[in-house]
Each structure stands twice: as C-alpha cells, then as structure tokens.
Amino acid sequence: MESPFIPSTDKDREEMLRAIGVEKIEELFSDIPPEVRYVKFNLPEPLSEAEILREIRQMAEMNADLDHYTCFLGAGAYNHFVPSVVKYVLSRGEFYTAYTPYQPEISQGTLQSIFEYQTMVCQLTGMEVANASHYDGATSMAEAALMAYNIHRRKRHKVIVSPAVHPEYRQVLRTYVRGMDINVVGDENPEADIQDLLGLLDQDTICFIIQNPNFFGELEPVEGLADKIHAAGAIFVVVVDPISLGLFKPPGQYGADIVVGEGQPLGNPVAFGGPYLGIFATKMEYVHRMPGRLVGETVDAEGKRGFVLTLSAREQHIRREKATSNICTNQALCALAAGVYLAVMGKEGLRKVAELCYHKAHYAAKRIGEIPGYEIINKKPFFKEFVVRCPLPPQEINRRLLQHKIIGGYDLGRDYPHLKDCMLLCVTELNTKEEIDKLAELLAEMK
C-alpha cells in the first residue's frame, strides 16, 4: 500500500504545491542565493563494494589510532583493555538495536542488563541507587547540579566547583545552568584548593563539586569534607574515575550525596570521542529527584522475577515542560559494555587493573622526574595521571613524539595559564615498561 504522505503522481505533486502556495518545486529554494545552490553534485564514478572497502581502509590508516600508536594521553578518555567478550555481547541483535524499554513484557533482557549494571555501579561507588541513561561524565555532573537545585530551592542558588574538576565538565555545567538563577563559583582562581573552596560555603550553596582523583590525577583530602558541606545544607557531588575505585575508598564511604563520572574506562573504547557513558549514583532519599531512568526488580502475577522502569515520573521522558531533567534517550548499550566489563573483571580483576595503573604511572613519573629540565609538580598522591613541567612547549614535545608514533600528554596551558609549560601524562595497564622507557629516552633528547 502506498504511503499517504508521499505524492505518487504529477497530479498529487501539483495539489501539494498549490496547498502551500507555490507553482514549482524550485520556488521552495528561492531564499537561497543562486550562486550557492548545488546545481548538481560532482560525485565520483560508482565503485564495487570491494573497492569502497579498500578506499575506506586506506582513509582509516591515516588516523593515529591506538592500534598503531603508543598513548600517554588521558584527560578524561582512557586507553584500557577491553575483554573480547564485551564486544561479543554488545553485537547481539537483541541488545544492539534496543531502544528505551518502556514495555517490560518484551524488554526483560535489556531491563535486566540495566539492573545488573546499576547494581555493580552502586557496589563500586558505595551509593544506594544508580541509573543508566546519561550521555557522558560531563552531562552527569551538570545533571547532578540541577538535581541539587531541585532538592534545595532557595532564594539564591550557588554551585561551588573546584578548578581541579575537568575543564570541559565545568564548561558543560555552565551551559546547562545558563538562564537559570544558579551562580557557579569556585574555579575563578585556577590554583584554588579545597580549603579555599570551603571558605565560599554559605546558606545559598546548593552543591559542592570536586573530582577525586582530580583532573591532575591527584587524590583530594576528603576526610571530614562531607560534614562541612552538609553543615551548610549543601549536596556533596564527587566526580570519579571508576577504575580508581578498584583501589581507593568509594565516595559513599566519605559522605558523598551524588557520585558521577565517565564510564568509558569500563569496557568502552576511546573511539575518537564517543559514544560514552555517564555514571550517576545517589542516596535512596533522593531517588525521586534523580534524572534519567531507573530499572527495578519485582515479581509478575505468577510470582516470577521481573524488571521494570520505576520510581521516575513519566514526564521525565515525554512531558518535557514539566521534567526536572533533559535526559531522555537510552544509553544502555554503553552501560551494557560497562556491566559486562565489571562482571568479567570482578573485584580482584578491577583491583589488579587499578594497581597496574598506579605502579606504572609512578614508575613513569620517577623516570621522567630524573631527566634534567623536567619536573613532576604533583604535591598530592596521584593515581594514573601526573603533571610534568617541561623545558619546551608541550605542543612541540607532542609534535616530536608523534614522529615516533607516540601520542603525548595533554597541554595544560590550554586551560590553566599558570601551567602553560606543563603537560598531563597518563599511564594505564596497557603501557609497557618498554614504552615508558622509550618515552623517557625521547624526552631526555628534547631540551
């Protein structure tokens, strides 16, 4: 049967044009200057499938991908090992094409996978409830600020954010709250520390945001911090690297109210920037304010275990003018990858990965710190990233490293003027001792 929306005859087309008040299709493009209209596309001659694949493969080989280059770049996206079983599970059709599982009677597999992911995120972060529908770590953090706003409605609303939080996360936060009566402060001074930020706490503060380990890879002093934040009636938000939680105390154990972060390190490849996964976990008392979707476990009419979307109002998904969040779509494929990764690695596997990152990063820092002209400037204990002051501009060092198929560190001068001669280096379990030694040898030649 022909679609009623597609004109199938010349008469149909003429009637549609008359209905919108034009005589010819060309009149629809009258607002476009003639000189910039595409009269015809200059397309190449058609190719066979084999020829197209060969051309695409040649184009792909031009990329500096992590199969051919050694990587010491982190700054929010990390090159960790992804077990083969993760890709195998993701490629199954029932998961690969799944959309928002509104109908539980036909979505039990997807719903259970989300439920299992949520459970493991709670265990990892030390929180009571987690969801699975945020786009990335930056939007998760911004949504945490909006959630704090909805929890604590006051005459004035202040969000305190550490300058040691990822610069792009802070930019997304400001984009989210633009036009709202929310004042973001704390990162005006790029050198401010936790004690400086505590001096900004007052009765207008709705949330206090730190990253731990912070953007520079350092562990923040968190003991007693939650008590001071809660004394002001504010929400304590912690941005995490989930791999670090295999080794260090989870935020739930030091008083965090909301834990967010980038889930990409958990079974999702770097992939030239996405798609990624936003981790979001909180306390049960705030569950009705939590953005995104939440899967719960229940029983059906026969007493059999089942899974459903629960504890979130329908307007979170469709009645947008009444929603407390802008999160709507389903990120469950990336969450599934994280869930499979966590299940395969287990507690011991995740701890081993974290330990390898920690020890290899400290070995790299030791080697580089011994090179004349280079200085490790971290003052606090660090995890897998550290800051190096360089004798040459980081851009020049990275340009030279690329000639040896090494992707260097992040140029901190892009975001922190006082660190204009510094780079942020990252070492994961995938970096070998030989690669670290080669990096140190090359840096020693650059003076």
Please report the DSSP string for 313-371 in residue order: -GGGTS-GGG-S----S--HHHHHHHHHHHHHHHHHHHHHHHHHHHHHHHHHHHHHHTS
pLDDT tens, position by position, 295-341: 999 998 899 999 998 886 555 556 666 666 766 666 688 999 999 99
Confidence at residue 95, expressed as pLDDT on a 0 to 100 scale: 84
* Residue-number span of the structural domain to which 100 is assigned: 84-342
Let me know whether 77 and 217 are in one domain: no
Is 261 a member of any domain?
yes
Q: Indicate the DSSP class of residue 204.
A: T
SS3 129: strand
**Same-domain pairing of 77 and 88:** no
> What is the percent of the chain with per-residue pLDDT over 70, rounded to a whole number?
93
How many C-beta atoms surround the C-beta of residue 272 within 10 A? 9
pLDDT one-digit tens code per residue, 348-374: 999 999 999 999 999 999 999 999 999
Under a CB-based contact definition with an 8 Å cutoff, are residues 243 and 353 in contact? Answer: yes
In this structure, are 251 and 234 located in the same domain? yes
User: Could you give the strand order of the β-sheet that contains 375-376, starting from the edge strand earlier in sequence?
Assistant: 375-376, 385-389, 422-426, 410-411
Look up the CATH number of the domain holding residue 364. 3.90.1150.10
Residue 125: in which H helix or E strand, if any?
A: helix 108-125
Whether the pLDDT of residue 191 is over 80: the answer is: yes
Same domain for 315 and 389, yes or no, is: no
Q: How many CB atoms lie within 10 A of CB 280?
A: 32
Residue 22 placed within a domain: no
Is residue 262 situated within a structural domain? yes
Q: How far is CA 416 from CA 48, 120, 209, 219, 392, in A?
A: 50, 35, 19, 19, 17
The count of structural domains within the chain is 2
Identify the weakest region by mean pLDDT among 43-52, 94-103, 157-166, 416-425: 94-103
In this structure, the answer to whether residues 185 and 322 fall within a common structural domain is: yes
pLDDT at 1 over 50: no
Work out the number of other CB atoms within 10 angstroms of the CB of residue 268: 26
Q: What is the mean pLDDT of residues 51-72?
A: 93
Cβ atoms 303, 289 nearer than 8 A: no
Q: What is the mean pLDDT of residues 67-88?
A: 96
Average pLDDT of span 81-88: 96
Q: Which two tokens stand for residue 298?
A: 């229940």
Q: Please, what is the average pLDDT of the chain? A: 91
Both 196 and 119 in a single domain? yes
Whole-number Å distance between alpha carbons of 52 and 55: 5
Q: Tell me, yes or no, whether 94 and 202 share the same domain.
A: yes
Do 203 and 309 lie in a common domain? yes
Tens digit of pLDDT for each residue in 237-283? 999 999 999 999 999 999 999 999 999 999 999 988 888 999 999 99
Taking the C-alpha atoms of residue 41 and residue 55, their distance in angstroms, rounded to an integer, is 20
Q: Which is more confident, 141 or 107? A: 141
User: Within this chain, do residues 109 and 171 fall inside the same structural domain, yes or no?
Assistant: yes
What's the CATH code of the domain at 232? Answer: 3.40.640.10
pLDDT tops 90 at residue 64: no
CA–CA gap between residue 20 and residue 29 (Å, rounded): 14
Which of 298, 361, 270 lies closest to 66, judged by CA? 270
Tokens 């009677």 correspond to: 105
**Rounded distance, CA 20 to CA 151, Å?**
49
Same domain, 327 and 378: no
Same domain flag for 214 and 264: yes
Of 342, 366, 393, the position where a domain reaches its end is 342
Nearest in space to 69 (alpha carbons), one of 427, 405, 430 = 405
Element (H, E) at 259: strand 258-262
64 found inside a domain: no
3-state secondary structure 152-184: CCCCCCEEEECCCCCHHHHHHHHHHHCCCCCEE
Domain boundary among 300, 315, 342: 342
47 located within any domain: no
Tokens found for residue 349: 């596997």
376: β partners: 388
**DSSP SS3 for 118:** helix
51 Cβ contact partners less than 8 Å away, ≥ 6 residues apart: none
- End-of-domain residue from the set 273, 307, 342: 342
**Same-domain check for residues 414 and 338:** no
Q: What is the CA radius of gyration of the chain?
A: 26
Residue 120 lies in a domain: yes
Whether 124 is in a domain gets the answer yes
Q: 222 lies in a domain?
A: yes
